Amino acid sequence: MQSQLQPNPVTMAAATTIAPSTFITFLTGTTSVATITPPVSGQHMLCLISTDTGTTNATVTTGNIAIVSTFVTKKALFLAYDPATAKYYPSY
């Protein structure tokens, strides 16, 4: 269950490695994300939202992301983390 006790979403620059600290993270810039530092040890989901219009950033598979995805500006990209494979699986 969610409540006002949850932390507010954060905004960070897209980078090769990102470390989200909340469920929703807004990304700026056009750098492709290869690795996500898991904020918790077990299975979980994250939501990444690109804020830049015409962004070209995407996820790539050189780190711990299972498939390539292109961010769609202002649309949520959900990623499910599987601790057995240590990979994130994007929703699109």
Query: What's the confidence (pLDDT) of residue 92?
Result: 79
Supply the pLDDT for residue 3.
75
Q: Name the CA dihedral angle for 25, 18, 27, 58, rounded to a multiple of 10 degrees.
A: -120
pLDDT of residue 2: 63
Determine the pLDDT at residue 58: 87
pLDDT at 45: 97
pLDDT per residue, tens digit, the chain (92 aa), is 567 788 899 999 999 999 999 999 999 988 999 999 999 999 999 999 999 876 566 899 999 999 999 888 899 999 999 999 999 999 97
